[in-house]
Amino acid sequence: MTVNVLGISGSPHRHGNTETLLDGFLDGAKAAGATVEKIVLKEFQYSPCRGCNACHKTGECVVNDDAIVIFDKILAADIIAVASPIYSMGITAELKGLIDRGQYLWARKFILKTLFFTDDHIKRHKALFISTAGQSWDHVFDGAFPMVTALFNGVGFEYYDNIIANNMDQYGGIKNHPSALKDAFLKGQKVVEVLEKLK
C-alpha cells in the first residue's frame, strides 16, 4: 500500500528557506515511492479559535472554514511534515492559528471521549517538524517544539523527528547550508521506508 505524505508549509514566504527545506524532505519521500501532497497554509482561509468552547459539547467546530479541510487531510495522511520558520522565538501565526483550531479534536478525546488513538495507530503515523531560523543560537527552536508536540498528540501522530537548520543569516539562505537539504531528502526517504515496513 502506498504511503501518503502530507507536507504543510506554515511560512508566509513562498519558496523561502523553510518551504525549500520541506521540498527537500518531500522529494526524498517521493523518491522512496510515497504519494506526496504539499499544502501552503497562507493559501487557505481560516480564522483563529474563538474560544467559545462549543466543541466541548458537540465535538464539532462552529466555524466551518478551511481549518476543517486541513485537519481532514492531516487525519488521512500516514506521514505529516509540518514546517514553520522561527518567528519571535516560536512558530508563525499561520501554523499556531491552525493548531488552536484543532481544539475540537482535543474535546473529542478528553471531554466527549469519542476519539481514541491506539498505540498501534500512533506508531503507524509519523510526524516531523521542519524549521529554519536566522540566528545561530542552539536553543532557537525550543519554543516551537511544545507547540508542534501539541499538534502531533492531538491528531494521533508519533513525533518522529525534526529537520532544523539555524544560522540562516550567516549562510545567506538554506541553499548555502552545507548539509541541510541533503539531510532533509535522506530523512524523507528513510521515514517512508520505515513506515512501509510497518504497513
180 sits near ligand FMN (criterion: CB under 6 A): no
The answer to whether 97 and 46 have CB atoms below 8 angstroms apart is yes
| The only residue of 56, 75, 115, 134 in contact with ligand FMN, by rule CB under 6 A | 134
| The only residue of 28, 85, 102, 156 in contact with ligand FMN, by rule CB under 6 A | 85
97 sits near ligand FMN (criterion: CB under 6 A): no
Would the CA dihedral through 46, 93, 168, 190 be positive or negative? Answer: negative
Please report, for residues 116, 121, 144, 145, 162, the alpha-carbon distance to residue 105 in angstroms, rounded to integers and kept in the order given.
Answer: 10, 16, 21, 20, 24
The residue to which cell 504497513 is assigned: 199
Question: Measured from the CB atom, is 79 or 168 closer to ligand FMN?
Answer: 168
135 sits near ligand FMN (criterion: CB under 6 A): yes
Minimum distance of ligand FMN from residue 192's CB (angstroms): 24
Q: Which of 35, 46, 140, 139 is nearest to 78 (CA)?
A: 35
Question: Measured from the CB atom, is 16 or 97 closer to ligand FMN?
Answer: 16
The answer to whether 77 and 155 have CB atoms below 8 angstroms apart is no
171 sits near ligand FMN (criterion: CB under 6 A): no
User: Which range binds ligand FMN by CB under 6 A, 25-33, 82-90, 115-123, 189-197?
Assistant: 82-90
